[in-house]
Amino acid sequence: MTKWIAPKWVAPEWVALVLLICATSAAQEAPIPSADELAGTPFTVKNKWVIGGVGQWDYMAFDPTARQLFITRQTTVQVVDAEAGTLAGQVSGFEEARDVALDPNGDVAYVSDGRADVIRVFDRRSFQILASISIQCSPRSVAFEPQTRLLFVACGAGIAAPAKPPSRPRSTANPASPQQTAPATPQAPPSKSLSHVVVIDADQRIVLANITASGDFRHVQSDEDGQVYITVGAGEMVYPNGSHSSVPPRIAHLDAGAISVEAHRDFEAANKTSAETAAPAPPAPVTWDADAGGSNRHMRFLSLAQSCPNPQGIAVDGRQRRLFVACDNQTMLAMNSTSGEVLASLTTGPGVDAIAYDQGRGLIFTANGGGYGSITVIRRHVTDTYSVIQNLPTLPQARTIAIDPSTGLVYLVSMLYGANLENPPANGIGTLKLDPVNGSFQVLVIGN
């Protein structure tokens, strides 16, 4: 077989692009699912903003007022100007930025720093870190609940319990310097199948409560009306006598209002007791075990049965009490958030991760990062029935999503991948290794 060698005038970037196209075509093992009905005005990739940067990415958030897109990128959070399509700045100082939640007042944002076991607070104007709230568990997803002004942080299974935080953060004269909490004695690690939901008072920046439960807690979302929901993967429940039983996949439902009242009351009582006894260490957060029978007032569970064996992202319609759950078996579930009844099950693309809901337009979007990469568009009809109206090819690994509710534009991110020509397979046998193309990280702007 004759081995083709690119002429000197062919730029390496073009070689990588050709190989990328070939590799992407080969990755289309699963066909694009057909739509149940066609969109009147189909969605298209309207723009691509190449913003560069280093490292992988995780979840995003969009500020419709400032028109800025916040993207977590390992050691930084990139801030993209949605009007210009350019990088407006970045927030540095993270070990592993994973998710970002925006305070509706427009002043600050909260980022889960997974490797550092903290929640970082940064100023959305200066892009400087203002504070670091230590929770001593590895946070993934974080959601801001506006009615109670609480942060709900999900730490997945197998992570040590949160340690004792200080009752108030220390002040700092330099807002550019991260505000660190005092170290505390860590507690004993729980079972590998035990997850944590850490509840933080966003105004005082203190940890109020630590709720433990069996299963793998993943993505957390608020309905912005006092209720919080978290997708929970399968796990095991471990009993005091050493026995255990399987825990099925489910949705955790938390009443933020009830949690706020009880957690603040118990925390203030503990603070008062600590002050009276002149205890040198600050009190621990309130600890609740959701697996115990008496803790159901804080958290209850909606069963997913076998319809969603591995739930990922979740979106919430607080007005109509609906949940939209992305499952990794190429399925999206529409559920009643009160009863847990499954109202619809629809087929999406492979590798679904995040999901978003445009309430004003009645549209649901799933970001499918597997294979060729795609976005599934689902219409919610006024009769509370659902149909897939489009599956739009995007890019491989475009698995997280943000939406601008004012314009209806949808944002995905990914990068290009090219073959490593410096170390090809020996004798032409084997598979070319695909590596990220430097500087190719980009935002896909999708609209109709």
3-class SS at 145? strand
Q: Is 78 part of a structural domain of the chain?
A: no
The alpha carbon of 305 is separated from its chain's Cα centroid by a whole number of angstroms, namely 23
Helix (H, G, I), strand (E, B) or coil at 104: coil
Residue that finishes a domain, picked among 303, 321, 350: 303
Place of tokens 């490797």: 115
Show Cβ contacts of residue 114 under 8 Å, excluding neighbours closer than 6 positions.
95, 96, 97, 98, 138, 139, 140
Last residue within a domain, chosen from 247, 280, 303: 303
pLDDT in tens, 290-317: 877 555 578 899 999 888 989 999 999 9
Q: Indicate if 244 and 157 belong to the same structural domain.
A: yes
296 and 312 together in one domain:
no
134 within a domain of the structure (yes/no):
yes
- The pLDDT score that the predictor gives to residue 180 is 40
User: Quick one: pLDDT at residue 422?
Assistant: 67
Residue type, 405: P
Q: 210: helix, coil or strand? A: strand
Closest CA to 67 of 85, 51, 49: 85
Q: Is residue 244 part of a domain?
A: yes
Q: Is residue 123 part of a domain?
A: yes
DSSP labels for 8-71?
A: TTS-HHHHHHHHHHHHHHHT--SPPPPPSS--SS--EEEEEEE---SS----EEEETTTTEEEE
Domain count, the chain: 2
Residue type, 5: I
What is the distance of C-alpha 332 from the center of its chain? Answer: 17
Whether residue 286 is found in the same domain as residue 150? yes
Locus of tokens 């087929």: 347
**CATH number of the domain residue 360 falls in:** 2.130.10.10
Please tell me whether residues 162 and 268 are part of one structural domain: yes
In the beta sheet, which residues pair with residue 71? 60, 78
Same domain, 323 and 438: yes
Residue type at position 159: I
**Residue-by-residue pLDDT tens, the chain, 448 positions:** 443 444 444 344 444 444 444 444 444 445 666 777 767 789 999 999 999 988 899 999 999 999 999 999 999 999 999 999 999 999 999 999 999 999 999 999 999 999 999 999 999 999 999 999 999 799 999 999 999 999 999 999 854 444 433 333 333 333 333 444 433 333 433 344 789 999 999 999 999 999 988 899 999 999 999 999 999 998 877 666 777 778 899 999 999 999 999 889 888 887 776 555 655 455 578 788 887 755 557 889 999 988 898 999 999 999 999 999 999 999 999 999 999 999 999 999 999 999 999 999 999 999 999 988 999 999 999 999 999 999 999 999 999 999 999 999 999 999 997 776 666 666 666 666 777 788 899 999 999 9
pTM above 0.75, yes or no: yes
The pLDDT score that the predictor gives to residue 53 is 87
pLDDT digit string (tens) for 59-91?
A: 999 999 999 999 999 999 999 999 999 999 999
What pLDDT, on a 0 to 100 scale, did the predictor assign at position 423?
66
DSSP class of 432: P
Q: Is residue 80 part of a domain?
A: no
Residues 323 and 347 reside in one and the same domain: yes
Structure tokens at 395: 């890019």
Q: How many CA atoms lie within 13 A of 198 on its CB side?
A: 32
Do residues 412 and 326 share a domain? Answer: yes
Instruction: Examine residue 124 and state whether it is found in any structural domain, yes or no.
Output: yes
Q: Taking a C-beta distance cutoff of 8 angstroms, is the pair 190, 172 a contact? A: no
Q: Does a structural domain hold residue 421? A: yes
Q: How would you write 241-288 as a 3-class SS string? A: CCCEEEECCEEEEEEHHHHHHHHHHHHHHHHHHHHHCCCCCCCCCEEE
Query: Same domain for 332 and 447?
Result: yes
**249 and 318 inside one domain:** no
Give the end of a domain, one of 278, 303, 328.
303
> In which domain, by residue range, is 295 found?
103-303
Q: Which two tokens stand for residue 102?
A: 């925006």
Residue 85 lies in a domain: no
Same domain, 291 and 315: no
124 and 41 both lie in a single domain = no
With contact defined as beta carbons under 8 Å apart, do 232 and 216 qualify?
yes
Residue 69 neighbours by CB distance under 10 Å: 24
Helices and strands (H and E) in the chain: how many: 2, 31
342 shares a domain with 270:
no
| Predicted pLDDT of residue 446 | 98
